[in-house]
Structure 1
Amino acid sequence: MLRTSRRTVIALGLGASLALAGCSGGNSSNNTSGGGGEGAGGGTLVIDTAFSLETGDPGRNYVPTGNMMLHAIYDTLLTFEGSAEDEPIPSLATVEQNEDATAFTFTLVEGRTFSDGAPVTADDVVFSLTRVQGITESKANFLMNGISVEKVDDTTVTLTTDGPSLELPAIVTNPALSILNSAAVKENGGTTGEDDAAEDFLGSTSAGSGPYMLDSMDITSRAVLVPNPEYNGEYAPSFDRIVIRNVTESATQLINLQGGDSNLAVDLNGDQVAGLGEGFTVSSSPSAQTIFLLVNQNEEVGKVTANPKFAEAVRYALNYEELLQLAGEGSEQATGVIPPMFLGALDSGVTPDPERAKKALEDSGYDGETISLQFPSDNPVGGVEFTPVAERVQAQLKGIGLAVDLAPAPFATEIEPYVNGTEAFSMWYWGPDFADSSSFLPFGPGEKVGLRAGWEAEDDPEIAELVTAAQDATSVEEREQAMSEYATAMQEEGPFVPLIVPGLNLASDTSVTNVQNNTNWTLDIPLIQPAG
């Protein structure tokens, strides 16, 4: 039996609609925004954010700024509207789901077109999704793992999985799974295999059906969007030009906003937005990101850190309330690897226990050596700068006799060793791939983030089984229980020490309205309108 609805229910369990913080140079662009009427004509919208931008190719994108930009250029099968993330709604298609949550049939909305006027068809859907499967080096490739794509007719496509996949409707909202104009992409080197060569083409033009098109892009400085003249969806473009600028320092974002050089700042911290005063609008809430410490379990990488007692020592040595003071408005203590707003999250976090921490450090075999704490130095999350947090962690660990040396590096330098699992002790952040608790199962042993910490499935088979149970659940109740047991086990042991869920502060001037956040794309650009 199939069930269908305009809003396809998925088992998210979100207690609130919260957002993924963007990442935060000081490039200047004259701000010419002004009042606009219906459709384009709203002048120029200038957005400052710290770039995590690597490509204009949706199939190869897997970073926050890329999500923000691509969500305005491309449509996915389903979407979320702003911060309303309890269930996906149709974008290019409606969906029917079988009772076992193993088959999802998508029917395209009639009449939708790409930016060159070509109709969106089932062939475009099949090509776009199987292309992501074929680009094995893409960070987004895993989103399509275990999913089969089949064309039913010109307007219908079915996605099937071997086991229950209650999260699939949320998965297809990710901008990496945007639907591309297959004819245009194929003409420019696009394939569904490892030989795909369309990235350069997609980095300089658009092949989507979204309200805006890519006019130009420099992944180090700015991206410029212009209206899609063929757009016929629900979110008509409101601005003649949108400039997304790479401004890495939140202080510079504040100066630009106050001085009228920008309309919207994505990465201000709580103290900064508190002092804005009249003439500005601020939206503050917890993000869905978690800042955490990674303690590598591979002896060849971490040596003493590989002893589980070392992670226990770190976990109970920290004063989380003092760390939270550095985060500002909207932030919360991380209660576990699953942020507080998601299904299965724990009600409270770790309580410091210095004596337990000292005993665990002694039992770990630590002999006074200095441990380097690595972290990205230029990528604040929700306005939270990593350096002051690292300095406070360093001071607190000194209190139990653990000597820590800080080793900051630019994000572009630090990301590779983190992904490759060669960092012994580091501080990083993680946000959901889509608005669902399953986005945090990768912390488990043998999973993506677990392996970055040198944590194999055989290192903790009981937690590995909890991951499987959560993945295989076929009801909301069963899934919530499994997620809760997983979160509890991860809090009691394992190589991760969750610290802070940063707040998200979106600050804008009075020339724009309807500024809303979103877990996947931080800022919902298509919804923004000129005030008045």
Structure 2
Amino acid sequence: MHTRNRTAAIALGAIAALTLTLAGCSGGNSAAPSDDASSSAGGTLVVDTAFSIETADPGHTYDPTGNMLAKALYETLVDFEGSDVTTPVPGLATWEQNDDATEFTFTLEDGRVFSDGSAVDADDVVFSLQRIQGMAEAKPNFLLAGVTIEKVDDTTVRFTTETPLLQLPAILANPALGIVNAEVVQENGGATDGADTAQEFLDGESAGSGPFVLDTLDLTSQIVLTKNPEYSGEEEAAYDRVVIRNVTESATQLINLQGGDTMVAMDLNGDQVAGLAHGFTVDSVPSGQTIFLLLNQSSDVAGDLANVELAEAVRYGLDYDALLELAGAGATQATGVIPAGFEGALSEGVERDTERAEAALAESGYDGQTLRLQFPNDYPVGGVEFTPLAERIQAQLAEIGLTVELAPAPFATELDAYVGGTEAFGLWFWGPDYADSANFLPFAPGLKVGLRSGWDADADTEIADLAAQAASATDTDERATTFTEFAEAMQERGPFVPLIVPGRNIATSDEVTGAVYNSVWDVDLAEIAPAG
């Protein structure tokens, strides 16, 4: 039996486009006014953002600015509407899946064409995705692990998975999996056997079916797009030209916006957007990332304090409202390892309970030892600076009798300690790779983030089993229930203390509309149009 999925059966929730790949912003500003800047239809749209991009090749991109660019140039089989990433909808194709969620059949829509006017067909889909599978070094490569892709006929492609994969439609909405013109890319070095050399070509010329085509690309200053005259989808661009400028300082973005030099500022913090007066619109929403504390469960790392009772003491010893004050507009308290809006997320977060915290601290065996809180001090997340956050955590935990010493370090240095699992007490963050709650299962014992906290699979077999059940679920209702049970168990006795879901603020002049945050690709440039 197959189930028709024009809108997938899974309620998937909001994510963050930023992933743990954590590519940094490029240097340099290009804040000078653009030629032909205009808010009228057919004119030029100017967008300021701090670049996080390495290429215009969708098969290699995996960072926020890169995702926004790929969304504009390339269409995917699956899409999301506006800011809503709870339910996948058809993009280039509709789909069916079997009851076991191991076979997905995609049928291409009629009449879709690339920017050279040639039709999008099954060969293009198979080549595009097998190309990524063949490039082991490509960042999006892992998205299609364990997936077999084959052509059925000119308009039909079948995906077969080794295990149940209800989240496959959500995965296929990632802009990195945009469909390229196979013939054009192959003529310019494209291949599926790992010998692909097409990135240089795709950094100078796009080969997609999206609403825009690439005009110029400078990874340090600006990207210029022009309207695709052959576009045949439902998101026809309102502007003939888009200039995306690398403005690394949020203060400069604010000046440019207020001075009319730009229409969209992507990276303003909470204080900056709070100060915007009449004439501007701000979309402030939770980003989908989670800032959290981890308490290592390995005795080799944490000694006698390698126990979840210490985590419970920290969890109930914190004043979350006071921590949230540091986050600004759009931010919310993290209700668990699964952020609010995702399937299985808890409706309410922990409230401070100092009596419970002190009791757990006594049970943990704590006897006045100093805990070193390690964290990156040069990588703010969603406008949240980690140093003042760590200082406030230190002060709050002192109130329950826990002594904390702050140990900041540069991001690159601290990342090695975090990934290597050598932090006894760490302050970090996590962002999902695609729009599905399966992204948070790595916090389970024995999985990636769990192991970074020294929490092996035998440490809590019940939680490990819940994670395994959620990963292999084929019934959507049972899957949702299992994710909730997983989130509840993690919040009750896991070694992690979720703190804040930072906000994301996108500010625009009132001359434009449609610039709303989407956690997969930041903003859809084709949806931005002159107001009115």
When normalised by structure 2's length, the TM-score is 0.89
Alpha-carbon displacement from aligned partner over 1:186-217 (angstroms, at most 9, x marks no partner): 33333324443333333333222211223333
CA distance in 2, matches of 1:302, 1:66: 39
Counterpart in the other structure of 2:482: 482
Range that drifts further, 268-277 or 464-473: 268-277
Cα distance, 1:229–1:299 mapped onto 2, change above 3 Å: farther
Cα distance, 1:340–1:495 mapped onto 2, change above 3 Å: same
Shift of 1:408: 4.4
- Do 1:432 and 1:520's aligned partners in 2 also have CA atoms closer than 8 Å? no
* 1:205 and 2:209 correspond: no
Alpha-carbon displacement from aligned partner over 1:292-333 (angstroms, at most 9, x marks no partner): 223344555565774434433332332111011122233221
Counterpart in the other structure of 1:164: 164
- Do 1:336 and 1:345's aligned partners in 2 also have CA atoms closer than 8 Å? yes
Counterpart in the other structure of 1:493: 493
**Number of matched residues?**
523
Shift of 1:336: 0.1
Aligned residue identity for 2:436: D
SS of 1:214's equivalent? strand
Shift of 1:265: 1.6
Counterpart in the other structure of 2:75: 75
Counterpart in the other structure of 1:8: 7
- Do 2:285 and 2:517's aligned partners in 1 also have CA atoms closer than 8 Å? no
CA distance in 1, matches of 2:244, 2:409: 26
Counterpart in the other structure of 1:54: 54
Shift of 1:523: 1.3
Query: Counterparts of 1:46-445 in structure 2 under 5 Å?
Result: 46-298=46-298, 306-358=306-358, 360-361=360-361, 363=364, 368-369=369-370, 371-375=372-376, 377-381=378-382, 383-399=383-399, 400-410=401-411, 415=415, 418-421=418-421, 423-445=423-445
Alpha-carbon displacement from aligned partner over 1:449-476 (angstroms, at most 9, x marks no partner): 3334343333332211101111222223
- Do 2:15 and 2:520's aligned partners in 1 also have CA atoms closer than 8 Å? no
Out of 29, 33, 40, the position equivalent to 2:37 is 33
- Do 2:12 and 2:435's aligned partners in 1 also have CA atoms closer than 8 Å? no
SS of 1:517's equivalent? coil
Cα distance, 1:473–1:319 mapped onto 2, change above 3 Å: same
CA distance in 1, matches of 2:274, 2:160: 48
CA distance in 2, matches of 1:145, 1:522: 25
CA distance in 2, matches of 1:245, 1:413: 29
- Do 1:113 and 1:209's aligned partners in 2 also have CA atoms closer than 8 Å? yes
CA distance in 1, matches of 2:61, 2:488: 32
When normalised by structure 1's length, the TM-score is 0.89
- Do 1:294 and 1:427's aligned partners in 2 also have CA atoms closer than 8 Å? yes
Range that drifts further, 72-81 or 195-204: 195-204
Aligned residue identity for 2:289: Q
Alpha-carbon displacement from aligned partner over 1:81-128 (angstroms, at most 9, x marks no partner): 211333222221111222332221111122322233333221221122
Aligned residue identity for 2:31: S
- Do 2:31 and 2:247's aligned partners in 1 also have CA atoms closer than 8 Å? no
- Do 1:103 and 1:158's aligned partners in 2 also have CA atoms closer than 8 Å? yes
Shift of 1:335: 0.6
- Do 2:334 and 2:500's aligned partners in 1 also have CA atoms closer than 8 Å? yes
Counterpart in the other structure of 2:473: 473
Aligned residue identity for 2:496: F
Shift of 1:166: 2.1
CA distance in 2, matches of 1:224, 1:427: 38
CA distance in 2, matches of 1:422, 1:226: 48
Percent of residue pairs identical: 55
CA distance in 2, matches of 1:21, 1:518: 11
Unaligned runs of 5+ residues in structure 2 are none
Shift of 1:289: 2.2
Shift of 1:360: 4.7
CA distance in 1, matches of 2:304, 2:199: 43
Unaligned runs of 5+ residues in structure 1 are none
Cα distance, 1:115–1:297 mapped onto 2, change above 3 Å: farther
Cα distance, 1:511–1:352 mapped onto 2, change above 3 Å: same
Aligned residue identity for 1:403: V
Aligned residue identity for 2:32: S
Shift of 1:407: 1.3
Cα distance, 1:246–1:86 mapped onto 2, change above 3 Å: same
* 1:525 and 2:528 correspond: no
- Do 2:127 and 2:192's aligned partners in 1 also have CA atoms closer than 8 Å? yes
